[in-house]
Amino acid sequence: MSQDILILNGVVKRFGKLVALDHLDFAVREGEILGIAGPNGAGKSTALAVCTGQLAPDAGSITFRGQTLTGRQPHEFCHAGIARTFQIPQVFSSMTVRENIEVGLEFGWHGKPRGSERSLDTVLALTGLETNQMQSAASVDLITRKQIMLAAALATDPKVLFMDEPLAGLNEAEIEIFADLIQRVNAELGIAIVLVEHKVRTLARLSSRIMILNFGQIVRLDVPDVIMSDPEIIELYLGKSHAA
């Protein structure tokens, strides 16, 4: 069994009287794809924000490769080996595709010996951006913007990558292309990937395990076959449309 690389223990996050994460306990295993699903407002995006340093937990601890990251700044999470992408692609429109990825490479290098970072050409090849690397990022379509954001995140040399609804806004053909890319990144780089995604059937195809969240608590954490064959989980937490 793979080793636990990132561990959340009793994590609580409140927004006023709203408890977004309620004593959340789970671990991300080295090299796995962990899917996170659940209804709107379940705490999925809050969990990603806490795991990547955008939000500090009100209680509990976050441990990554034996190092306590609780309360540290987002750049410290990144330099430790944790990266994320967002539902709406975040790119520098005034730069070329290549320059966007160079930003990730330079930022992720901090504190590491020169030559240890993932090479720019490797990232370009893996994400399919070699041919349009000199194109302006302002002129590309949505799926390419998502590829740029993913490539820039990979250039920081993460050991765990968190992705918030990476398939949002894509058509069926593009979903297949980007899902295959996620699978390839996991297989070729060996990094753990945590996916928050509403397209549950695709999530089930990609994931080693799926965690169902609701009201900031884990309802179920199991392999996809078990999750997708449970009528109660489908009806209450995923929606009947995902049963087919």
Fold observed for domain 4-81+158-242: Rossmann fold (3.40.50)
H/E run at residue 149: helix 142-155
Q: How many residues does the chain have?
A: 244
pLDDT in tens, 55-66: 999 999 999 999
Phi and psi dihedrals of 82, rounded to 5? -120, 125
- β-strand 33-37 against 59-64: which pairing, if any? unpaired
CA atoms of 178 and 176, how far apart (whole Å): 6
Domain ranges in the chain with CATH number 3.40.50.300: 4-81+158-242
Q: Residue 244 CA to chain centroid, in angstroms?
A: 26
CA atoms of 42 and 39, how far apart (whole Å): 6
H/E run at residue 165: none
Give this prediction's pTM.
0.92
CA atoms of 43 and 36, how far apart (whole Å): 10
pLDDT in tens, 174-230: 999 999 999 999 999 999 999 999 898 999 999 999 999 999 999 999 999 999 998
Say how many C-beta atoms besides its own lie within 10 A of residue 70's C-beta: 17
